[in-house]
Amino acid sequence: MDKLLQLYLEKTGIEELPSSIGYIRNLVLIDLRGCKNLEILPSTLWKLKCLKSLVLSGCSKFEKLPEEMGNLDCLEELLLDGTAVTELPPSIQCLKNLKVLSCCKSSSQSPISFIKSWFQLNKHQKTMRILVLPPIWGLTSLTQLDLTNCNLLASPSGLGSLFSLKELHLGGNRFENLPSLNQLSPLAQLELNRCEMLQELPELPSGIRRLFANDCVALRVSADQFATCKLGYFWFQNCRKLLDYGENEIVASTLLQRKLEVLY
């Protein structure tokens, strides 16, 4: 078994992994996506010191990660989208090599499924459980963070310290504001769609290229926020407050100028 490097069990009826998996010391990937009956992972998982990727996408009954998750020193990818996880263990901030973390509550990328989940989110958002996050300042290698539809009332503590971050997905949450992201120089894409309580954009890094803020009905922006940005793609559909804002034409002119600069 020492030669086993990858374990694929996707879409099987498995309910739990045996504790003996901790002895397959050379495993680098465990793929359990779509295992809808999976409820638990063994505490011996931390013994997998070579593990780089743990995929639990679509495991709709899976609720809790082992407390010892922080001992997976080599872990680079943790996909929890479409699970029932409502809290991440404090030890997760010890994952210094983690590059991709997804806790998105909509695991399907199909447009039809996405539209259905969007209506369900609006209908049940008030009764959804909030994802509880520990401080994430220790995730210094993180390049992609997806917290879409996690019902967050506030931004994650330590968000402004993720200096390797390239993509940030925060759509469908309930916070009113975000901390400055200006110091996150690698950040190229920010997604804030359906953040209906968001009142203003955070300070953005100059290198950001793509900004999605559709259906942010309380959002107001000023032209100064885009003075130094290199935005090539931006969306503000159904942002009703923009229509009432005095600087609306100035903002549009500034954004158009930035787009032309990118193109030429």
- Predicted local distance difference test score (pLDDT) of residue 116: 46
pLDDT in tens, 213-226: 999 999 988 767 76
Burial level of 232, CB count in 10 A (0-12/13-18/19+)?
A: middle
pLDDT in tens, 187-197: 999 999 999 99
Residue 162: which of 130, 135, 192 has the closest Cα?
135
pLDDT in tens, 36-87: 999 999 999 999 999 999 999 999 999 999 999 999 999 999 999 999 999 9
| Mean pLDDT, residues 126-137 taken together | 82
Query: How far is it, in rounded angstroms, from Cα 230 to Cα 208?
Result: 6
- Predicted local distance difference test score (pLDDT) of residue 263: 38
pLDDT of residue 264 exceeding 80: no
Query: How far is it, in rounded angstroms, from Cα 161 to Cα 17?
Result: 35
pLDDT band at residue 239 under the 50/70/90 scheme: confident
For the chain, the maximum distance between any two Cα atoms, rounded to a whole number of angstroms, is 67
